[in-house]
Structure 1
Amino acid sequence: MKKRRIFCAAAVVAVLSLSGCGGQGDLDSSAKGATELTKEANEKVYTMLDFKDEQEKKYAEKGLIAAPEELVLKDESGKIVWSQKAYDFLENKEAPATVNPSLWRNTQNNHLYGLFEVTEGIYQVRGYDMTNITFIKGNTGWIVFDPLMSTECSKAAMQLVDKELGKRPVKAIVMSHPHVDHYGGIKGIVTEKEVKEKNIPIIVPEGFEEHAVSENVYAGNAMGRRAGYQYGTILDKGETGAMSIGIGMGQSTGTVSYISPNDEIKKTGETRTIDGIKMEFQMTPGTEAPAEMNTWFADKKALWMAENCTGTLHNLYTLRGAQVRDGNAWAGYIMEAAGRYGKDVKVVFQAHNWPHWGNQEINTYMKNTASMYKFINDQTLMYINQGYTSDEISNMIKLPKDLEKNWYTRQYYGTVAHDSKAVYQRYMGWYDANPVNLNPLSPSDSAQKYVEYMGDTDEILKKAKADFDKGEYQWVAEITNVLVFADPENKDARYLCADAMEQLAYQAESGTWRNAYLSGAKELRQGTTSDMSLKANSSADLKKSMTTEMMMDYMGILLDSNKAQDLNLKINLSFTDGDPYLLTVNSGVLLYQKGVQDTKADATLTMPKAGMAAILTGDKDAQKKSVKIEGDQDVLKKLTEHMTSFDYFFNIVEP
């Protein structure tokens, strides 16, 4: 576990002033404005793009039915979990010097929230969370697509629909893929009791639950922490703070829920007719998610593209961490959709951003979107086969001019640079073939050697300060972060590294890059945050939905095998509501076998599946009630004393 270092920048404000460096002045813990070089870089954006073209804004505004004057959503404790009011500073203003003008425009468009009509019988509530929630009007009720991330947000969206369109029962829920912002708000729409009693279909692509659990539990703690950087949850909103992330304003921090699906789509062309609405599904696995699907409404000539077309360049690798996506498959499925439905389609709509209308416009939109992913995939592979490494390729690759000029293919969320790294990772892995990089030192150890070789730290800082004044912000961030990893108490290095990342943020077109830079700068100045109100309130729903084998896999993740290397156990698991298993701990490594029992096991645990959940959570009272132990009565203690817990706010920009 990374040790969290509390660095109180407020206690030590201005420190060593480096004379003769000019421009930046003293190094201190305060946020800075844009430098002249950053202002110049952002001014150049106006010459690169056609700011007179406001077609995307017109699409974002089209069909507005109603919106509250102010949108601030709170949970039961009064914590603000979502706010569009926080972005009021955007209205009727030109981009300030501290924001890339292209990102500023995208943020203004994402600030357009409310209830919208997509086409007759299809409505969306947009801007109530990172994701759109979509309502398809059936004969008697609603079919709901992708019920947002937080229950507070989906409930508020439902209330807006009830008010403006009249109350109607939920007849079905479709969840296009297993990312939390597409299912976490489901209990703001329906309850588990309603789903069971009214037999409400919850329709998902095959493999949905497996991936929902594995992504959000196995590496969930680390992904959650990193998502805070990606989505800017620790940042204030403002001209020097968080903007949009290209697919919405950011991440809500309300209550995350989950209800297990009861209807899986297994192949393209499958249909469901619910409440008079016929839906045809197109499977798109390995694109934006391992399990994902588009939906065609033939009667309305409307195509739901899930998160496969979003009006921006998406991620082949997401900064929070996830399985790398297949750019080639992504492009292929978009083109398959165009082939199946492109002749008839009149509107394309999706889980983020706004729809596009008109057959010709849609076909061009889909072709250009597919071209982005295909270009990044193929061009990266071309460079790979010429011997270039991941870092080299990411600095070489650039979209063709005709693709760059479209507002809907700009790099607001994903970037060509880090998507190319995803392609490299997919095909080549982490190793660049240089044997020097087979087993490098840890960052702290190598940082200390760098400083030892480079000599006087003050001289390094003086040179870095001079490079800052020349606008070499990436290099300054790199070299000063080496100093931070060599000595986290070096306040000058922390502040200069923060100042450099801040300027990188102000120039970034990608909202996620901006957030990451600014989050790193904030924690260098103020120390790693520990404010739990900044994270979503995860319910136990997802962990309850884990299979027995998933629970044992997670137990293996929690077990510190190095500390437990002398531990050897055999435990029969006799589940009253499932198959038996033999759990073996071999030199601290947890293994299991289905349908196997050992008469010579150290102990036999008889319990329902819920008993395994109690063991994982450390709930001793629940264990006593649900787990019967025959044999070694200390077997659970021997096992669980070597299980670790995860500190959510681990360090990122320092050791």
Structure 2
Amino acid sequence: MGHDRQGATETTRSINEAVYSALDFSDDTDFDRVSQGFIGTDTDLVVRNEQGDVVWDMQQYAFEAQDAPDTANPSLWRQEQLNNRYGLFKVVDGVYQVRGYDVSNITFVEGRTGWIVVDPLACVETAAAALDLVNRHLGERPVTAVIYSHSHVDHFGGVAALISAEDTAAGRVRVVAPEGFVEHTVSENIYAGIAMGRRTTYQFGQALPKDEKGFLGSGVGKSFSTGRITLIHPTDVISETGTTLTLDGIDVEFQNTPFSEAPAEMQFYFPEYRTLCIAENCAASIHNLLTMRGAQVRDAKSWSGYLDEAIDLYGDRSDVLIMSHNWPRWGTEYLKEYIGNQRDLYRFIHDQTLRLANHGYTMEEISEVLRLPAELDSNFYARGYYGTVSHDSKAVFQRYLGWWDGNPANLHRHPPVAAGQRYVAAMGGAQRVLEVAQEAFDEGDYRWVAELVNHLVFAEPDNSEARELQARALEQLGYQSESGIWRGFYLSGAFELRNGIDESLGMQTEQGAGENGLIAALELHHFLDSMATRVIPAKAAGLDITLNFNITDSDQQYTLYLKNSVLRHKADHNEESADATITMTRDALNAIAIDTETGFANAVASGELTIDGDAVKLAELFGAIDDLDMHFPIVTPRETA
């Protein structure tokens, strides 16, 4: 393994060259917008954690200052040149943004006594760097309020760099979030967090070099920071559109937009500054109706409707539009046109997918032919730098019709290894597969190569010739991709076929362990629900266990029942006939969540955990809980579950 990366083939060069005639690259308006209001920055920005590890690095993208190479779609290259403009910017008097200090933006709005901060980035290290930049250029002011626009980690994870839980408990700081924020933060970041985290490494190209043949950016920003995630619970929850709060003397009008770009999301308007924050429901790109890292599918119809409502509510009153990613937009009439076009592209994808589905077309067939109208497609902000028409149409199909196309031949297909073995045998063996695939590669049909050789790789994962040919096909597809995250997936797959899995890539500091981390912020019932998703049926078979859990520092009582390989719990309850009662602190529980064996041993030794009853039952319960590892293979086979 470890083959050199290849350059662009003639087919790829031709495809990328054709992009120049499809779009107006002479339009420099976005380059003016992205620089408007620039105040200052940290030259050669690199952010490190307390251990000295790099968690964010903008220096590595300096190579994108040159013209697009033939190994990159020039439209994506242009987008990433725009995303490279980082620093502190004045949006309007009283509203400032720090952009390029993480994959998302952080906004500072002047209150009467301090800052109202919108979306405190993905980790404490980048949020601290952004706050330091603001303090140096605008003077130090306390943070008096925080607004989480939605439930994705890059919009709350750095909050502990700005405020503490003690601040909110004492009433010094208000934290505002949409209804369902905590619940969906848990479901999107904890329940399926391991699988999402692994796929995120592909989406954001975390194993890839940052160069002309590697990762360029995600389309809505660069990559993802890798620092410590935190969460401080909201003090104010927005459940209805039209709600107005006064935060540090500034009125803020809220529009609730659930199940749009996130299951819990809201837009909001600052009348004093005539500024509308559209959250992540608009960007300088098509967004994802189903993100490739994995999440709940989104509602394109509602999303489009919320944007229409925003125009009615705030359009004529807004001079500027700020977003959670990319750069602002100015001008009342232009804002209404921009939001309207974003509204229409999601509604178009929704309606036309269903029209074709009702003609009997499958999701693959629909995604192959569906294109935006020219009047939308010609706008750079309606291009597929992040989401794409292709995979968004599949999301709409899935939302209404599910994973299956209705063809009984596809109802119970063989899994990849079994199918691969059969395909290879049917074609006459591995050598014949390679011959056919090489012919297709030479003809520039890289999608067919990827489909064909995937069968061989899953049938014979140690076949180095197959792995390299598959890597070369994925590589060319990545070079052609206008979507930054399609490029990330293609090139990450090629990287792992050649080099194996980079096990140095891990979850963001164990999903925010420690003070104000995600685990510490979990409600106990969410913690137990997450634990239930880790039960191993083979080890839980035949077990019938009832355990009381009493958490001393929060005065909570739960009973856990393990039966039929299902772990369930009952709140505010202790079972008299329980096998044992475990009394422990919440800190001990958090430590056990991170490392079951070590955390349990330390908690017993320190006296933070005591057992009254049959300790063997507790050991049996923990013995049936899976120890998950995010470094599972994606482009090669894995062990059967």
- How much does 1:387 deviate? 1.3
* Shift in CA distance, 440/420, structure 1 to aligned 2, threshold 3 Å: same
Distance 1:597 1:164 in 2: 56
Cross-structure match for 1:117: 90
Q: Say if 2:160 is the partner of 1:183.
A: no
Q: Secondary structure at the match of 1:342?
A: helix
Partner residue of 2:287 out of 314, 325, 328: 314
Distance 2:591 2:484 in 1: 40
Q: Secondary structure at the match of 1:255?
A: coil
Partner residue of 2:144 out of 154, 158, 171: 171
CA contact (8 A) 1:548 1:609 kept: no
Cross-structure match for 2:529: 553
- How much does 1:349 deviate? 0.7
* Shift in CA distance, 453/402, structure 1 to aligned 2, threshold 3 Å: same
Partner residue of 2:37 out of 55, 59, 63: 63
Cross-structure match for 1:641: 623
The amino acid that maps onto 2:545 is L
Distance 1:402 1:536 in 2: 45
For structure 1, which segment, 60-69 or 185-194, has the greater mean C-alpha deviation from structure 2 after superposition?
185-194
- How much does 1:357 deviate? 0.6
Distance 1:507 1:594 in 2: 53
- How much does 1:612 deviate? 4.3
CA contact (8 A) 2:206 2:505 kept: no
Distance 2:591 2:40 in 1: 46
Distance 1:562 1:217 in 2: 23
Cross-structure match for 1:622: 603
CA contact (8 A) 1:221 1:648 kept: yes
CA contact (8 A) 2:511 2:519 kept: no
Q: Secondary structure at the match of 1:573?
A: strand
Alignment: residue pair count: 628
Q: Say if 2:545 is the partner of 1:569.
A: yes
CA contact (8 A) 1:228 1:535 kept: no
CA contact (8 A) 1:174 1:202 kept: yes
Q: Say if 2:104 is the partner of 1:131.
A: yes
Cross-structure match for 1:440: 413
Gaps of 5+ in 1: 1-8, 11-28
* Shift in CA distance, 389/307, structure 1 to aligned 2, threshold 3 Å: same
- How much does 1:615 deviate? 4.6
CA contact (8 A) 2:229 2:518 kept: no
- How much does 1:574 deviate? 4.1
- 1:435-489 per-residue CA deviation (whole Å, 9 max, x = no partner) reads 2222222211111111111113112111111110111001101111111100110
Partner residue of 1:241 out of 188, 210, 214: 214
Taking structure 1 as the reference length, what is the TM-score of the superposition?
0.93
Cross-structure match for 2:571: 594
Q: Secondary structure at the match of 1:395?
A: helix
* Shift in CA distance, 247/322, structure 1 to aligned 2, threshold 3 Å: same
Partner residue of 1:499 out of 448, 455, 472: 472
Distance 1:169 1:609 in 2: 30
Q: Say if 2:31 is the partner of 1:30.
A: no
Q: Say if 2:63 is the partner of 1:89.
A: yes
Cross-structure match for 1:75: 49
Partner residue of 1:142 out of 85, 102, 115: 115
Distance 2:333 2:480 in 1: 34
- How much does 1:244 deviate? 1.8
Distance 1:602 1:535 in 2: 37
- How much does 1:528 deviate? 1.4
The amino acid that maps onto 1:622 is A
- How much does 1:610 deviate? 4.8
Cross-structure match for 1:222: 195
Cross-structure match for 2:224: 251
Partner residue of 2:519 out of 511, 525, 543: 543
- How much does 1:84 deviate? 1.3
The amino acid that maps onto 1:109 is L
Distance 1:595 1:163 in 2: 49
- How much does 1:245 deviate? 1.0
- How much does 1:347 deviate? 0.6
- How much does 1:583 deviate? 2.0
- 1:574-630 per-residue CA deviation (whole Å, 9 max, x = no partner) reads 454355433221122112233454433322334455554455342122256233333
1:271-350 aligned within 5 A: 271-350=244-323
- How much does 1:344 deviate? 1.8
Cross-structure match for 1:24: none
Distance 1:587 1:351 in 2: 45
- 1:480-510 per-residue CA deviation (whole Å, 9 max, x = no partner) reads 1111100110001100000001000111000
- How much does 1:276 deviate? 2.2
Between 1 and 2, higher relative CO (CA 8 Å, sep ≥ 6) is seen in 1
Taking structure 2 as the reference length, what is the TM-score of the superposition?
0.95
Distance 1:562 1:382 in 2: 46
CA contact (8 A) 1:569 1:586 kept: yes
CA contact (8 A) 2:168 2:235 kept: no
For structure 1, which segment, 564-573 or 314-323, has the greater mean C-alpha deviation from structure 2 after superposition?
564-573
Cross-structure match for 1:450: 423
Distance 2:507 2:267 in 1: 33
- How much does 1:301 deviate? 1.3
* Shift in CA distance, 292/126, structure 1 to aligned 2, threshold 3 Å: same
The amino acid that maps onto 2:530 is Y
- 1:34-65 per-residue CA deviation (whole Å, 9 max, x = no partner) reads 00110000111011101111112211111111
Q: Say if 2:142 is the partner of 1:160.
A: no
- How much does 1:419 deviate? 0.6
Distance 1:399 1:96 in 2: 27
Distance 2:620 2:443 in 1: 59
The amino acid that maps onto 1:584 is Y
1:595-614 aligned within 5 A: 595-610=572-587, 612-614=589-591
Cross-structure match for 1:45: 19
For structure 1, which segment, 566-575 or 111-120, has the greater mean C-alpha deviation from structure 2 after superposition?
566-575
CA contact (8 A) 1:551 1:612 kept: no
- How much does 1:140 deviate? 2.1
The amino acid that maps onto 1:46 is Y
Partner residue of 1:470 out of 440, 443, 447: 443
* Shift in CA distance, 168/599, structure 1 to aligned 2, threshold 3 Å: closer
Q: Secondary structure at the match of 1:562?
A: helix
* Shift in CA distance, 616/67, structure 1 to aligned 2, threshold 3 Å: closer
Root mean square deviation, CA, Å: 1.6
CA contact (8 A) 2:547 2:618 kept: no
Q: Secondary structure at the match of 2:537?
A: coil
Distance 2:243 2:459 in 1: 58
- 1:161-217 per-residue CA deviation (whole Å, 9 max, x = no partner) reads 111111111111111111110011112222333444462101111111111122111
Q: Say if 2:624 is the partner of 1:650.
A: no
- How much does 1:71 deviate? 1.1
Gaps of 5+ in 2: none
- How much does 1:69 deviate? 2.5
- 1:550-571 per-residue CA deviation (whole Å, 9 max, x = no partner) reads 1221121111123312111222
Q: Secondary structure at the match of 2:548?
A: strand
Partner residue of 2:76 out of 74, 81, 103: 103
The amino acid that maps onto 1:368 is N
CA contact (8 A) 1:229 1:520 kept: yes
Distance 1:393 1:40 in 2: 26
Cross-structure match for 2:334: 361
* Shift in CA distance, 136/479, structure 1 to aligned 2, threshold 3 Å: same
